[in-house]
Structure 1
Amino acid sequence: MQKRSPSEFSNRPDPAQLKTLAILQIVCEVLVLMVAAVVLVGWLVPPIGRLLPSGWDLMKANTALAAGCSAWSLALSQPRRSRSSLLVSRVLAVVVAVLAATSLAEYAFHLSVGLDTLLAADAQSQHPGRMSPQTAGAFALLSVVMICIRARKRPSSRVADFLLFSLCLLILTILSGYAFGAVHMFGITMSTRTSLQTLGSLMLLSFIAFARRAEYGSFSILLGNGIGGRIARIATPFALALPFALQAGSFLLSHSGTMTVQYATATMTSLAAMLAFGLVILLARRIDAQEREIRDLSLRDGLTGLYNRRGFFVLAEQALLLSQRSGSQFSVLFIDLDNLKLVNDTFGHDTGSIFLTDVADLLHQTFRKTDIIGRIGGDEFVVAGEAGEAEMEFASQRLQQAAAQRSAELGRPFPIGFSLGQVTSDANGSETLEDLLRDADHTMYRAKRLKKTQSAAEGRAVFA
C-alpha cells in the first residue's frame, strides 16, 4: 500500500467546505434554470414575453438555451453520478459548444448559419437571435470546462483549470465593462451585448464550475484543511473585490466633481496601500495563530493537555539555561503513578484515562504557570522550574494533600497515588536537564521501593 505524507491529507478538500459548496451549487443551478426558462418562454410565447420587464429580450433564445443546458450539464456531472448521467452531461456540453462556436464563426466570417433564429425570429435586432461575441466566448470556454469537469489526470486537468481561469477573467472583464461604461467590453452595441441576466447566469455557472473543479484540480487549495487553504479563503475575497472597489471609488470621486482625477487617484492609491498593509497584518496574525496551533499539537500530550516529552525537553532546557545564567536554583520533580496498569486491567482504559487527566488537573492546580509540566511516559509526569529545595518540597506536599482530597471523593473506585522524586540544582551548578531528570528518577524509585516495603509490612490492600 502506498504511503501518504501528512501534507497530502492537509491538501485534501475539507468535507465541511464541500458540503456547503454542494448546497450553494444546487441553489445556483436552480437560479440559472429559472432565468433560462422564463426567457425561453418569453421568446416562444410572445404574449408572455410582453409581460416581462423591458430588456429581457437582450438575452437571446439561444443564450437562454445555452444557459439551461449548462446548468443541467453541471448538475449531471456531480460526484457519484452514474456513467450514463455523465454521458448526458457531456452531450449537453457539446450542445453549448455548438451554439457558442456557431455564433463566433458567424462574427468571424460574416455569415449566417440560421441556427440563431431557429427558436425565435428576433427580427428587430441588428444580429437576429445571435448572442454577443463575449457571451459566445464565455459559453465556448464553459463548454470545454464542463466536458473536462471531472478530469483528475494531467494534462486534461491542467487544461480544464486553465480554461476555467480564462472564463473567470472574461466574466470579470465583462463586469468591469458594465461598471465603468466600456461598452465594447460587454458587447458590440447596446442592442447586441451581454445582458445583465446573461452576465448573472454566467457568474453563477462559473461559480458552480469553479467549485466543482476545486474538488479535483489546482484550485483545491481553496478548500484545503491546511494553513494555505485557510489563508487563501481569507485573501481571495479581498483580492477579487479590492481592485474594483478602489477603481469605482476613484471613478465616483472624479466624476462627481468632489476631486480632480489626480487627487482621486492619489487618494485611492493611498487607501490601497493601507488596505494591502492591513491585509498583510491580518494574514500574518492568522498564520501566527495557525503556527501556535501546530506547535501545540507537536509539543502537547493529546490526552492530558500537558507538554509531551519533546515539548517538556524543549522548554525545560531553555528554562534551565536561563536559571543558570541568572544564578537561580532549578528544581525537577519526578512523579510516577501507582497502579495505573492495575486500574486499566480492573476498570478499563477509559477509567485509566480519567486517572491520568485527574493527575494532570491536580498538577495544574498545584504548580505555577511559569513551571513546566509534562507527561513524558505512560504513567510518568515531571515538573521543572526555578525553585529552591524548600519551595519544591512545599509544592510536593500540597500536591499530595490535593490528591488525598480527590481520592476521598464519594464514589471514586480507586485512590490517586504516586511516588515522588525531587532534585534541586546548585545556584552555580552546571548540571544538564538529563542529569537532573536521572537523579530525580533515582530518588523516585527509592521512594517507591520504600512505599512497597511499608505496604507489605503493614499488609495494606492495593486500593485503600
Structure 2
Amino acid sequence: MEKTLSPSMHTRLRFLRAFAWCAACSVALVGVAALSGWVFGIGFLKSVVPGWVTMMVNTACTLIAAGLALGVGLPTAPSHARLLLKQLLAGLVTLVGLLTLMEYISGVNLGIDQLLMTDDSTTKLANHPGRMAPATAVCAVASGVSLLLLGLRPRLSQAFALVTLLTALVALVGYVFDVGTLRTVGAYTSMAIHTVTSFMLLSLGIMAAQPLAGFIRVLVSDTAGGTVARSMLASIPVVVFSTGVLLLFGEAQGLYDNRFTLALLATLSMVFLTHVIVRISTRLHRVDLSREQAQRELQALNAMLEHRVVERTQELEVANASLVTEIAERKRAEDDIRRLSFTDELTGLHNRRSFFLLAEQGLKAARRNNLASLLFFIDLDGLKRTNDTFGHEAGDLVITAAAQVLKAGFRDTDVVARIGGDEFVVLAIGAGELPEVISARVQALVDELNRSGRCRYPLSLSIGVISCQPQELRPLDELLAKADALMYANKQQRHGRVER
C-alpha cells in the first residue's frame, strides 16, 4: 500500500518510524537509569530532583519491558519469535499494572511491590512501600494492552495509547502548575516526573509505530485535514503551556492576583482560539482555491483533449477514407494484373498460360466424369500478308474479328484461347456434336462476316480438330501437336500451299 503514497508522505512515515524507535529506546533507558539508581543508591536517577517523587522499582521494570516490547514490535513484518517476545513483554507490563490496581482496590498486599528490591526510601506512605502510583498502574495497563494490540488491531491499540497519554498529561499539568490533586489520587503516591514523561513518550511512540491507522493516518496525509492537523497540533500545546506558565509566574511574583490571572487567561485563550480559527480558515480557503484552480485547469485540459480527439478523429476518418480508396484502387490494379496475366489483351480471350491451366484441369475432370473432349487448333490465314500490305492495325482488326467468330461459334463453357499471333485453340468438353458440325458452323460464321462487310479485310480460318476419349492419357502438348498437324493439312488442302 505504501508504494502508492506520495514522496512527502513517505518522508513523514520515515520520521514517525524513527521517532517510534527513539521513543522505545528512551523509555527503556529511563527505566534502566531508575533501576540503576535503586541498585547503586543514586538518588537523582530515582527522583530527578531531590524531594520529588521517586520512580519505584516495579515502575522502572515496567518501563524497560514496555520500551523493549515497542522496539521488538516495530518492524513492519516481525518474525514469529519477535512477535512472541513482544507479546510476552507487553503481557508482563499489563500484568504488573493490573495486580497493582487490584492491590489498591482490594486493599490486599500481593507481595509484588518489593519483590525485586526493598524500598528503603523515606516515603510518606509507609503503608505501601515500593508500590507504583494508581495513575502509573493505569498507564501500565493501558500501555500493555496497547502493545499487545500493536500491529494486530491498530485503531484499538492507538485508543489505549491515547488513554495512557491523557493520564500522563494530566499528571504533567499537575507538575507544571503545581496542582498536587492532578498527579495524586487520594492519599496515594503521585507519579514521578520521569514516569510521566516516559509514559507520554511511550504512548506517542506506539501511535507513531502505526501511522496508517486512525487519526495518525490523517495526520500524515496530504489532505487539507492533515495539513491543518500538523500545523495546529505542533503549536497549540506549546502556546497553551507557555501561556499558563507565564501567567502563573506573574502571579507568583505578585504582579497580579488570581482573578486577574483568570481574566487574562480567558482573554489570551480567546485571542489564541481566534487566531487558530483564522489560521485554519485561511488554510482551508487556500486549499479550496487550489482545488478550484485545479478543477478549472482540468476542465480546460479536458476541453483541449476533446478538441484534439475530434481533430484526430477527423484526420483518422480522412486517412481511413483515403486508405479505403487506395485499397480499392490497389484491388482493381491487382484484378487487372490478374486478368492480364490470364487474358489476351487484344481479343479478351484466354492467353496461352490461362489455356494450359484450364485445359489441364478440364481434361482431368473429363476423365473423372467419363466425358469425351474436342480439341481445335485454328490458324488465321494470310495474317502476315495483311500486316505487310495494310499495316499491323489491319492485322489487329482481323485477329479481333477471328476472336469474335470463335466466341460465337463455341459455347460459353468451352475454353477459347489465343496462344500465338495467328493461332487459336479451343477445348470443348462434352460437346455433344460432331467436330465436322462445329467446324462447319464456324466456317459459316466466317462467310457471313465476310459478306456483311463488318470487317474491311477478308477473314479465313484453317481448322484442325481431334477427339479425346476419357481413357486417353496423352499429355496436352501431344494433343496440341496432333491438332496442329491436322490444321496444317487442312490449310494445304484448302489453299494448295502453306501460307502463314
- What is the TM-score with the length of structure 1 in the denominator? 0.58
Which letter maps to 1:23? A
* CA-CA distance at 1:221 after TM superposition: 1.2
Shift of 1:22: 1.0
3-state SS in 2 of match to 1:33:
helix
Structure 1 segment 375-394 matched on structure 2, within 5 A: 377-378=307-308
For residues 149 and 211 of structure 2, the distance between their equivalents in structure 1, rounded to whole angstroms, comes to 13
Structure-1 separation of matches of 2:87 and 2:64:
14
Cα 1:264–1:186, aligned 2, differ >3 Å: closer, same or farther? Answer: closer
CA distance in 2, matches of 1:57, 1:146: 27
| RMSD (CA atoms) | 3.4
Aligned to 1:128: 129
| AA of the residue aligned to 1:183 | G
Q: Deviations over 1:289-319 (max 9, x none)?
A: 2223333433336xxxx94145xxxxxxxxx
Is residue 2:294 matched to residue 1:297?
A: yes
**How many angstroms does 1:38 deviate by?**
1.8
Alignment match, 2:62: 66
Residue 141 of structure 1 corresponds to 142
The answer for the alignment partner of 1:438 in structure 2 is none
Residues 1:106 and 2:103 are matched in the alignment? yes
- Contact (CA 8 Å) 2:90, 2:145: kept in 1 or not? yes
Aligned to 1:150: 151
Q: 2:222 aligns with which of 225, 247, 250?
A: 225
| Correspondence 1:284 to 2:281 | yes
Distance change (3 Å), C-alpha of 1:275 and 1:218:
closer
The reply on whether 1:272 has 2:269 as its aligned counterpart is yes
Deviation at 1:286, TM superposition (A): 1.6
Deviations 1:78-137 (A, max 9, x none): 222123212211110110011111221222222221212121101333222211111111
SS at match of 1:112: coil
Structure 1 SS opposite 2:19 = helix
> What is residue 19 of structure 2 aligned with on the other side?
24
Shift of 1:204: 1.1
Matches within 5 A, 1:52-451: 55=50, 58-78=54-74, 79-124=76-121, 125=123, 126=126, 127-152=128-153, 158-187=155-184, 192-300=189-297, 307-310=300-303, 377-378=307-308
* C-alpha distance in structure 2 between counterparts of 1:65 and 1:258, whole Å: 45
Paired AA for residue 160 in structure 2: L
CA gap 1:259/1:297 in 2 versus in 1, 3 angstroms: same
Q: Is the partner of 1:308 in helix, strand or coil?
A: helix
Unaligned runs of 5+ in 2: 319-500
The answer to whether the Cα contact below 8 Å between 1:59 and 1:197 also exists between their aligned partners in 2 is yes
- Among candidates 28, 35, 47, match of residue 33 of structure 1: 28
Q: Distance in 1 between matches of 2:10 and 2:64?
A: 29
Amino acid at match of 2:11: A
The whole-number CA distance in structure 1 between the counterparts of 2:206 and 2:44 is 33
Decide whether aligned partners of structure 1 residues 261 and 42 sit closer, same or farther in structure 2, where only a CA change above 3 A counts. Answer: closer
SS at match of 1:111: coil
Q: How many Å apart are 1:144 and its aligned residue?
A: 0.8
Kept in 2: contact 1:104–1:137 (CA 8 A)? yes
Q: Larger Rg: 1 or 2? A: 2
Paired amino acid for 1:210 = M
- Residue 73 of structure 1: CA displacement? 0.7
Give the 3 Å change call, closer, same or farther, for CA 144–59 of structure 1 in structure 2: same
Q: Which amino acid aligns with 1:44?
A: V
- CA distance change for structure 1 residues 74 and 138 in 2, over 3 Å: closer, same or farther? same
Identify if the C-alpha distance between structure 1 residues 64 and 187 changes in structure 2 by more than 3 Å, giving closer, same or farther.
Answer: same
Q: Shift of the alpha carbon at 1:248?
A: 3.2
One-letter code aligned to 1:237 = A
CA drift of 1:57 comes to 8.0
How many Å separate the matches in 1 of 2:34 and 2:300?
Answer: 65
Q: Give me the whole-angstrom Cα distance separating, in 1, the residues matched to 2:290 and 2:188.
A: 57
Q: Which amino acid aligns with 2:190?
A: R
What is the letter of the counterpart of residue 273 of structure 1?
M
Q: Does the 8 Å contact 2:16/2:211 carry over to 1? A: no
Q: Is the 8 A contact 2:25 2:68 kept in 1?
A: no
Residue 59 of structure 1 and its aligned partner are, at CA, apart by 1.1
Separation (CA, whole Å) in 2 of partners of 1:77 and 1:64: 20
Structure 1 spans left out of the alignment, 5+ residues: 311-373, 382-440, 446-464
Per-residue Cα deviation, 1:352-405 (whole angstroms, up to 9, x for no partner): xxxxxxxxxxxxxxxxxxxxxx67645999xxxxxxxxxxxxxxxxxxxxxxxx
Opposite residue 133 of structure 1, the aligned amino acid is P
User: How far did 1:284 drift?
Assistant: 1.9
State the alpha-carbon separation in 1 of the partners of residues 145 and 256 from structure 2: 46
Q: SS at 1:257's partner residue?
A: coil
Distance 1:259 1:51, change over 3 A: closer
CA gap of 1:160–1:30, structure 2 versus 1, over 3 A, is closer
Question: For 2:90 and 2:211, how far apart are their aligned partners in 1?
Answer: 19
SS class of match (2:163): helix
1:308/1:51 CA distance change after superposition, 3 Å: closer
